[in-house]
A and B are shown apart, each in its own frame.
Chain A
């Protein structure tokens, strides 16, 4: 799509390395994402997809390499990581909603605590976000009262409340019952249409093909192959890509 050629780079990853003990999970990742691009990371489990996402908002500290997001060099000690994170929304596989709060409180916590919004503004915004994800009637519910699909839609609304420039989805539908996957994908699809930058780790190949501008195939800690969905799914060049796709498609 056009975004790839016109947008400024908003995420620039160079030679990213990450080890857990003696186990090197990322072995030098180079990845550039432009503003407005929708990119999905695919690959076999253990290939390092989720670790890349977690390094992007510093839930993991890289062992080496550099990450520049929206002009902030994350390897620079002077960068306030909390400030950077406010521009990056993250959606987790297991939702991670706060069970001690209502749905509304989950969504308004960060905007209020960071001083971004007054309580009234945050509540109004929460109403709007809940309507957008189709859960207007659940504002006063507790997370425990929601289905998996509903929880994940609240989690997306919670991340959106900080009005981020980038949204990261870490296997957002993997923990859902099959009949609930669609409602969450619909919300992500709607977001993709707004021109927001999205990076998704996903196993939904059909969805990746339909929504993404670019698909990155990772294998064994390195970027093995990347391209438009048509290129990667239609005519994969690398043997490992072909092997992986033959198993999942």
Chain B
């Protein structure tokens, strides 16, 4: 009970931490420490029995990636983290968010720690506290397997290379770029970088050597032509000043894993014989069969968030649509401002604001489903407001006059006479908006919502079969949208006779 209470208080304090409640955070930590004092004799009392939310990247094989058949997250980071958690007696809830999003999650208090093949740098030390390094990395360059002209950095002159945004590869590439006179283009994911080299838009990529080596073994179609640039050590990180006991437990656990040899076993699993890791060999149809469970889950998430968001959007559209035809200038103004704001800003901005920004302001932990739902609902609601306003305005004013002249009130006249006609007029545009919202839901992959396209990204970032995966999800979207449109049109014909 004591542990649970302490944990609860600590979590509340941490959530508020970045919003400026540093005092509270200190108090929370102090409380946790006091409460754990009675069993100070036990080795790992500060973390034992606790559950920590750990953020990670989505696409950083072999450190973290989805097993194509089971859809489970695996990789060096995941295995080390789980082994340490077991060893130290705490629980972890792993959230696969993407690299930048994982860092934001920790700084905003959404997550307690981050393990994402993250290099320890002085710059990052200003924001994070790092564990002892758990992996010695380094950056390596790779070119297309059939490229016989690029043999070293000197062959890059005047050409373009790609490197991972915010990662060590980018820093190394930029250093070399000055000396060898080439251009560096930052990209977000290893898989996109590989595709850029294969399609010729870049001649080479700079990425962490384990990633590169693992990718090549997976059939990424690249080859390494230069030596690894030594450097880079990876560390587990927590928000600066927070979760000291978690960091200590990680260090302690890591030392013990190294002592028992378990650490080397984990690395060997992924790096010693990468060929054995081939997660999806075989034909296009094998790929479909292997990825079906993960894609099925993604499709369910896509459809469910779209349906929930669209129902809310319809309510918003009806409320604001009626406000737009109100007599009061103030009421019309409120509706116009709503439409202007959400129609005039990108969906992505709101997704980030709702998921990362809002929790920092309120101190309450963010919920990815509802942040995504709010984003889609408010956006679609703005468009539906105009659709419904247009529908109401398109009904002949004589209809309202005829109903009123019969002694029906404004509400009854709207309900029985005007709205049914407005709905009929608006239905095609409403169906259209539903389809747009369903497709827009794929933007939520940027905050780490596990919808269909996100799941596909997870898979191709591990097996490098990018084009095939995109064709598969493209077809899935097409089939689902065609089916839903077909159903909607049948309902339209039944209801709007």
A residues adjacent to B (C-beta < 8 A): 57, 59, 82-83, 85-86, 88-90, 92, 94, 96-100, 109-110, 113-114, 155, 158-159, 162
Contact = CB atoms under 8 A, between A and B. Distances in A.
Contacts of A82: 404, 407-409
Given A109-B416, A113-B416, A98 B399 contact: yes
Interface of B: 396, 398-399, 401-409, 412, 416-417, 420-421, 424
Given A100-B421, A109-B416, A113-B412, A94 B398 contact: yes
Contacts, number: 59
13 contacts: A85-B405, A85-B407, A96-B399, A96-B401, A98-B403, A98-B417, A100-B421, A110-B403, A113-B412, A114-B407, A158-B406, A159-B406, A162-B407
Contacts of B412: 113
Given A97-B402, A114-B407, 11 more contacts: A57-B405, A86-B407, A98-B403, A98-B416, A99-B421, A100-B417, A100-B421, A109-B416, A110-B406, A110-B407, A158-B406
Nearest to A54: B401
B406 A162 contact: yes
Most A CB contacts (10 A, CB to CB) among B402, B403, B404 go to B402
Most A CB contacts (10 A, CB to CB) among B396, B401, B420 go to B401
Contacts of B421: 99-100
A92 B404 contact: no
6 smallest A-B Cβ distances: which pairs? A86-B407, A96-B402, A110-B406, A90-B405, A96-B398, A85-B407
B402 A92 contact: yes
Contacts of A97: 402
Given A59-B401, A96-B398, A100-B417, A109 B424 contact: no
Contacts of B416: 98, 109, 113
Nearest to B410: A82
Nearest to B415: A113
A8 to B, nearest CB: 22
A233 B130 CA distance: 103
Nearest to A94: B398
A141 to B, nearest CB: 13
Given A100-B421, A109-B416, A114 B401 contact: no
Given A92-B398, A98-B417, A59 B404 contact: yes
Contacts of B405: 57, 59, 85, 88-90, 159
A88 B412 CA distance: 18
Nearest to B412: A113
B210 to A, nearest CB: 66
Contacts of B401: 59, 92, 96
Nearest to B424: A100
Given A109-B416, A113-B416, A96 B396 contact: yes
A109 B406 contact: yes
Contacts of B406: 85-86, 109-110, 158-159, 162
Contacts of B404: 59, 82, 85
